[in-house]
């Protein structure tokens, strides 16, 4: 008789695409998995909205947040992952990580591949 295995929590793939949050990314040769999980499948403390686990190389994001908050949480946890990969002490400074994560989310949300207008070119 086959053994029952624990099912992995369902990841919201459509939301990943819509928000520009990757399912996976590479850092220092490690594949980092990114999961957006419903609150019912949230394995961490209820007060946390995101978590980076350097041992599992995984970012978990609580999916019961508004879209912008999910993006911000992803960027916050990505900053933790980057700093952890660098073995940098700032990874434990939540004010620094939150500020940098917020700035990163703003930059990514406003990113455009459009050519600058003639007016914008005059500022060079």
CATH number at residue 50: 1.10.10
**Is residue 85 assigned to a domain?**
yes
**Is residue 60 assigned to a domain?**
yes
Contact yes or no for 32/24 (Cβ under 8 A): yes
Contact yes or no for 58/33 (Cβ under 8 A): yes
User: Tokens in use for 78?
Assistant: 């990505």
pTM of this structure: 0.80
Rounded CA-CA distance 51/100 in Å is: 16
Local structure of residue 90 (DSSP, 8 states): G
**Is residue 74 assigned to a domain?**
yes
Q: Using DSSP, state whether 109 is helix, strand or coil.
A: helix
Q: Which domain holds residue 50?
A: 13-110
**Is residue 51 assigned to a domain?**
yes
Q: Provide the pLDDT confidence category of residue 78 given band limits of 50, 70 and 90.
A: very high
**Is residue 115 assigned to a domain?**
no
**Is residue 117 assigned to a domain?**
no
Number of domains in the chain: 1
Mean pLDDT (whole number) for 93-99: 96
First-to-last CA distance in the chain? 71
**Is residue 25 assigned to a domain?**
yes
Does residue 114 have a pLDDT over 70?
no
- Answer with the residue of higher pLDDT: 34 or 3: 34
Rounded CA-CA distance 33/28 in Å is: 14
**Is residue 123 assigned to a domain?**
no
Mean pLDDT (whole number) for 75-89: 95
Does residue 74 have a pLDDT over 80?
yes
């Amino acid at each position: 008789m086959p053994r029952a295995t624990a099912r992995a929590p369902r990841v919201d793939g459509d939301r990943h695409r819509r928000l520009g949050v990757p399912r996976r990314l590479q850092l220092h040769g490690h594949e980092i998995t990114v999961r957006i999980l419903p609150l019912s499948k949230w394995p961490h403390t209820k007060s946390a909205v995101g978590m980076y686990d350097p041992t599992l190389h995984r970012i978990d994001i609580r999916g019961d947040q508004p879209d912008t908050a999910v993006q911000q949480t992803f960027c916050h946890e990505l900053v933790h992952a980057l700093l952890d990969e660098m073995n940098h002490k700032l990874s434990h400074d939540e004010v620094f990580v939150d500020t940098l994560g917020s700035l990163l989310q703003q930059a990514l949300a406003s990113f455009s591949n459009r050519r600058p207008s003639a007016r914008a070119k005059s500022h060079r």
